[in-house]
Amino acid sequence: MADPVLWQFAFSHFNEKVRWALDYKGIPHVRRSVPLGVHLPIMRRLTGQTGTPVLVLDGQRLVDSTRIIAALERWQPEPALYPSTPAERTRALEIEEYFDEQIGQPLRKAVLHEILTDPAYTAALFGMGQPRWLQRAIRLGVHRLIEVYRVRGDVTPESAAHGRERIRDGLARIEAELRPSGYLVGDRFGLADLTCAALCYPLVVPPLFPELGSRLPAACVRYRNTLAHRRGFQWVAEMYRRHRGPSMAMATRASSLTVLSPLLRQRAVRAPA
């Protein structure tokens, strides 16, 4: 059986959610980081849509972090991320859906609004997991990349303000849901905890990401500091400390040829016509 392959953006929190699930279950896998922008034809070719994460599992191309984790849970039930009782499972899935649908995207916009003010940091972030020549190209074109990203990714002062509100709502929801056990559902770490912590990682930037945290743009640090006292914020850092184990990735940097292979295959197929 082939190892699962994760097509990802190395910097993205929805991708971090799936990476954490794979690592938590101890599933060896391959990570292929697609360059931002170039991902559009590659992901369309692979899946008919453009979003990441995409997991290729037993030949099936799975889209969407929620569906991917559900499939991983069936593929390798232990250690379980889903709670064992139906009532707790329903609550965990509700919390997952709330963070996926209501918090993930607004949080991205709020945090990126601050990050995009620092072109050098933006280039380093978007270049994560890419070959050196591409990192250089991203550095050279970063000002244009920022302009395009702001439009395509809807990162504006208004969407950032809305994102900041949603972040406050998200932290309040974590604080309200926390059980005496220190977890969101039941008395052990599971799907709800993983989802909330992974989707809040760009805000909290746990020490696990030293390459991101050490050079965080000043605007980000200032914003982050306004929330660092919150119990929900500290809980995210705590989940990372306690439960974000080692990576089970066998390859984190694929060659450009491997990443472009879906397009090359398409050309090869089309050539005779």
Ligand X SMILES: N[C@@H](CCC(=O)N[C@@H](CS)C(=O)NCC(=O)O)C(=O)O
CB closer to ligand X, 13 vs 173: 13
Question: Least distance from C-beta 100 to ligand X, angstroms?
Answer: 5
Q: Are 62 and 44 in contact (CB under 8 A)?
A: no
CB closer to ligand X, 65 vs 122: 65
CB closer to ligand X, 19 vs 108: 108
Question: Least distance from C-beta 181 to ligand X, angstroms?
Answer: 26
Question: Least distance from C-beta 152 to ligand X, angstroms?
Answer: 8
CB closer to ligand X, 98 vs 222: 98
Of 7, 12, 25, the C-alpha closest to 243 is 25
Q: Which residues bind ligand X (CB under 6 A)?
A: 9, 12, 14, 50-53, 64-66, 100, 108
Q: Could you give the CA distance from residue 110 to residue 114 in angstroms, rounded to a whole number?
A: 7
Of 140, 106, 104, the C-alpha closest to 122 is 140
Question: Least distance from C-beta 35 to ligand X, angstroms?
Answer: 12
Q: Are 195 and 183 in contact (CB under 8 A)?
A: no
Q: Are 33 and 222 in contact (CB under 8 A)?
A: no
